Amino acid sequence: TPEAADTIIRSLATAMAAEIRVQIEFLPESERLRRLTEWLAQEGFMARWRLTSEGAHLVEYQCPYFSISQRHPELCQIDEILIRETLNTELSRQACMLSGDSACQFLLIERAT
């Protein structure tokens, strides 16, 4: 069911984020972003991050599950949850390849402590 699929996706992404977070949580923000970007590359994403006047942007130029996401867009939640939970940030999706953009782009909004 769609509900079961959503539960599985959230559980998977949250578990992956927890594994990464324990390795990087005490590092400075730029180092956390660099390490997450490296991990994403190992998983088949071609990702980069950059700082702008708006804040930190994480840009994914390639997605390992793009083809299947065309039929199952709910899979886009995986990287969104993973990024949010790993970096303890809120996100604003600025662009999405499923919408015809050349990359998926997220603006990271640091959570208030």
Gap between the Cα atoms of 70 and 7, Å rounded: 20
Gap between the Cα atoms of 44 and 22, Å rounded: 22
Q: Give the model's pLDDT for residue 57.
A: 93
Query: What would the mean pLDDT of 58-75 be, rounded to a whole number?
Result: 91
For 7-64, what is each residue's pLDDT tens digit?
A: 999 999 999 999 999 999 899 988 999 999 999 999 899 999 988 888 899 999 998 9
Q: Give the model's pLDDT for residue 112.
A: 52
Q: Give the model's pLDDT for residue 111.
A: 59
Per-residue confidence band for 65, with pLDDT thresholds at 50, 70 and 90: confident
DSSP β-ladder status, 55-62 and 104-110? antiparallel
Query: What would the mean pLDDT of 78-84 be, rounded to a whole number?
Result: 92
Q: Is the pTM of this model over 0.75?
A: yes
**How many residues are listed for the chain in this entry?**
113
Contact 76, 95 (CB under 8 A): no
